[in-house]
Amino acid sequence: MNTKVTIRTGTREDLPRVLELIKELAEYERASHEVINTVALMEKDGFGPNPIYGLFVAETARGIMGISIYYWRYSTWKGKRLYLEDIVVTEKERGKGMGKLLFERTMQHALDENCSGMMWQVLEWNEPAINFYKKYGTKLDDEWVNGTLEADQIRAYFTRQA
């Protein structure tokens, strides 16, 4: 990598750029219509009295070019785990080692926080990401099916039950 990259803990002032990168990832994953998050929500959720996520940013002289967003998860079998929600490197900077720096900083944070490990998801068609993770000896699981309920679905369920 020719450009000097600094990996640091993200701040609330970084959030507008962080949200831009999140939207860039959503577009790459063909799901930009799914993004409902806002800077205000991210500020409340990450920098309020009870933060529920943390983040690292990859910064160059040109600004923030990548992010790693994580939160804590608890496994009844393994205890405290770091859940890597997203690593995003802006498209023009991919393949230059920035994702590696972010991922390794996040791995170190899991150790620093006495986690039993870390976990994340990757889309089955995202070959570049899968190949990246395999370099670390990652176990990719094909047994579990993801479940999701959106808030409007939960409300509709309870409305039907009333």
**Residues belonging to the active site:** 133
DSSP 57-79: EEEETTEEEEEEEEEEEEETTTE
Q: Are 56 and 102 in contact (CB under 8 A)?
A: yes
The C-alpha atoms of residue 102 and residue 7 are separated, in whole angstroms, by 7
* Three-class secondary structure of residue 81 per DSSP: strand
- Classify 7 as helix, strand or coil: strand
CB count in 10 Å sphere of residue 110: 20
Residue located via tokens 């890597």: 84
